[in-house]
Amino acid sequence: MSKRWTTISFLILVYTCYRCTWAQQTQIPEQPTNNLELEAALPEPRAYVPDSQYLDFVYHNHEELTRFLRATSARYPNLTALYSIGKSIQGRELWVLVVSSSPYEHMVGKPDVKYVGNIHGNEPVGRELLLHLIQYLVSSYDTDQYVKWLLDNTRIHIMPSMNPDGFAVSKEGTCDGGQGRYNARGFDLNRNFPDYFKQNNKRGQPETDAVKDWISKIQFVLSGSLHGGALVASYPYDNTPNARICRSSALCAMFQTYSAAPSLTPDDDVFKHLSLVYAKNHAKMSRGVACKSATPAFENGITNGAAWYPLTGGMQDYQYVWYGCMEVTLEISCCKYPPAYELRKYWEDNQLSMIKFLAEAHRGVQGFVFDNNNNPIERASLKIKGRDVGFQTTKHGEFWRILLPGYYKLEVFAEGYSPREIEFVVVEQHPTLLNVTLQPSKQFNMPTIATTTIKTPTTKKPRKLIGFIPKDEDEIIHFPSD
Ligand SMILES: [Zn+2]
């Protein structure tokens, strides 16, 4: 009897140990699928054939836009998820549609990316192109290898309009001017974010507060903000520590255009590259032809934001400095609100750029930070040596950084662990997968990234470069079709 119990106890012990090992193993996040080698071998994305039954080349008001998003999310439940990040002042939903092969949940190890359109209400070409991008992606998934690869490996969040109230009072055919640019309280939303270089005293607006909350919950790796009024990809920084901002004087603006100095980020090579990817895949942008004789021509169709004209409170500087998200401002039409019959042409000009730009999220390094039990470490602070800007891991221990081919060192810090420095190589063909294990440290290690500063010649008191703080899993609300 006692021998039998001994045997049973032994079996229970073996089973328990097996379970305990298994449990530990299941905590290891899934390794990122390295499908990127495939990208180079993939055929170019095919041209989308618009079907007016679903979406025409016309401007859609808020109700029509809402109907399209709801109908699409109902028609493609396995590829889309619709949610709202809040409401505009006049109560319009700030819709976001996720397009991905796993739309309802963050795919561990796979990047979230986004496009935001119509932050200026009277610049609605991007708003309409984003609806066509949605239609293109969902209708091509089964037939286009490139689109399938993109949606299988990326979670794409598309916000067609950040300023639906401004759009509602804008007028088709108006190429210049400010009517509809602002939100319903008269605030320019692209001057309404906290600024890295200067105090921004503008009162936070519901639309910008919603975006701030959104990007604090989802770690976006890459983003494009669509504008009109020029033809150029403009990259951070938009602001500079030493510029005078022109308010109304045309002379000042003209002087500034010719005298503004670039304000470059530690990732200037990457931002230039991302901007060139958009410009070179665009039908015209990289030619760098001026919209009008009085406006600047941009070499290769790209510019540093501050070198064009400095501004305070822009969205792209905020995303990069506070959250490590690489956002580029994409100015896609010389006329801010061109007639609807030109929309098809705008789509044709931008289609390849919009796809290829998002694919850049798969360039550089990505991986996980674990403890020595293979549990992910959340909020580990990371930095690429020599690039004085920090980023952090998600709650799954994931990280991403877009980098061009080369040799790098990754510095990793986490509270309670010994810091590590790891060398790695980035190649052109696929992202480098890098898993980092940190050993516990008896000595308390202050995460030094949190106190990392950018030293700019004219900033007397360097300010903290704060990484993002991921919160709970993003909430997706699914709205049925009406
Ligand atoms: Zn704009």
Q: Which of 48, 44, 45 is nearest to 348 (CA)?
A: 48
Query: pLDDT tens-digit profile of 125-176?
Result: 999 999 999 999 999 999 999 999 999 999 999 999 999 999 999 999 999 9
Q: Which residues crowd ion ligand 1, with CB under 5 Å?
A: 120, 123, 227
Q: How far is the CA of 227 from the centre of ligand 1 (A)?
A: 4
Residues 6+ apart with CB under 8 A from 357: 222, 224, 274, 277, 278, 281, 328, 330
pTM: 0.84
Which ranges constitute the DSSP H helices of 87-159?
Answer: 125-140, 145-153
* Residue 417, burial from CB neighbour count under 10 angstroms (0-12, 13-18, 19+): buried
* Residue 435, burial from CB neighbour count under 10 angstroms (0-12, 13-18, 19+): middle
Half-sphere exposure of 133 (CA within 13 A, CB side): 33
Q: How far is the CA of 68 from the centre of ligand 1 (A)?
A: 24
Q: How far is the CA of 258 from the centre of ligand 1 (A)?
A: 20
Q: Which of 396, 408, 410 is nearest to 31 (CA)?
A: 396
Q: Which of 114, 321, 301 is nearest to 237 (CA)?
A: 321
Query: pLDDT tens-digit profile of 256-271?
Result: 555 578 999 999 999 9
Q: Work out the mean pLDDT of the chain and round it to a whole number.
A: 85
388 token code pair: 């004085």
Q: Sheet containing 365-371: which strands, arranged edge to edge?
A: 398-401, 365-371, 432-438
Q: Place 249 in a pLDDT band, splitting at 50, 70 and 90.
A: low
Across 370-392, average pLDDT: 95
Q: How far is the CA of 119 from the centre of ligand 1 (A)?
A: 7
Active-site residue, selected from the candidate residues 93, 327, 331, 411: 331
| Helix H or strand E encompassing 160 | none
Q: Place 121 in a pLDDT band, splitting at 50, 70 and 90.
A: very high
Token match 């209708």: residue? 139
343 token code pair: 């929309």
Give CA torsion, residues 155, 158, 162, 167, to 10 deg: 180
Examine the residue annotation and report whether 331 is marked as an active-site residue of this protein: yes
- Type of residue found at 4: R
Q: Which of 376, 418, 373, 412 is nearest to 394 (CA)?
A: 376
Residues 6+ apart with CB under 8 A from 471: 216, 217
Q: How far is the CA of 229 from the centre of ligand 1 (A)?
A: 7
Q: How far is the CA of 220 from the centre of ligand 1 (A)?
A: 21
463 token code pair: 């300010």
